Structure 1
Amino acid sequence: MFAEACSRYVTRNPEILGGEPIITGTRTSVRAIVGLWRLGIMPEEILNHLPHLTLAQVFDALSFYLDHQSEINEYIERNKVPDELVHPSVKAVLGGL
């Protein structure tokens, strides 16, 4: 199976996350980056959470998301953890954002 380039830093590989868009050369999904961004974390701060990425990769992932929102939102919904399974300490942190 071959990877399909979607943009400069975003690719799809059927063998990684079932073909979900990821950052090229990593297993980091566009969904993961968008999830942090939706929590109000600035792109520059996302690098603190995903230090193996560059700022250009983060911005490219967000750009890809803005062009493919319905698809990425579907991945987000499909992988959402039910509220009752979220640990209370995580809820406390997220409640402060």
Structure 2
Amino acid sequence: MTIVRDEDVLGGEPRIDGTRVGVRHVAARVVDENRSPAHTADQFDLSLAEVYEALSYYYDNIEEIREFERANEAAFERLGDTALKPKEPVE
């Protein structure tokens, strides 16, 4: 078990090998949402060891993970600006 990167999976974000679960996703559940590591493991179908490995990577590389979070938020904002919106009602 290890943390890997692949530009073709999650845009190169660090993730748990053999999954599409990013370190950012695990940290969001445990750190930001205050979920237990055991609950997070259950929700993502991971072993508890994989969750702790992802958390270890997160704490060793917080700024890197936060940068991925900022980039992801910016991408969603750009999509929202270009998404189709309903026409204004005719009065």
Q: TM-score, normalised by structure 1?
A: 0.69
Q: What residue number does 1:65 align with?
A: 58
Say which structure is richer in helix: 2
Find out whether 1:16 has 2:9 as its counterpart: yes
Structure 1 residue ranges without an equivalent (≥5):
1-7, 86-97
Aligned Cα root-mean-square deviation (Å): 1.7
Q: What residue number does 1:49 align with?
A: 43
Instruction: Provide the aligned length of Structure 1 versus Structure 2.
Output: 75
The Cα of 1:77 is off from its aligned counterpart by 2.3
Q: What residue number does 2:18 align with?
A: 25
Percent same amino acid at aligned positions?
35
The Cα of 1:31 is off from its aligned counterpart by 0.6
Q: Structure 1 residue runs of 4+, over 4 Å off?
A: none
The one-letter amino acid paired with 2:17 is T
Separation in 2, partners of 1:62, 1:42: 12
The Cα of 1:29 is off from its aligned counterpart by 0.6
Q: What residue number does 2:33 align with?
A: 39
Q: Which has the larger radius of gyration?
A: 2
The Cα of 1:12 is off from its aligned counterpart by 0.6
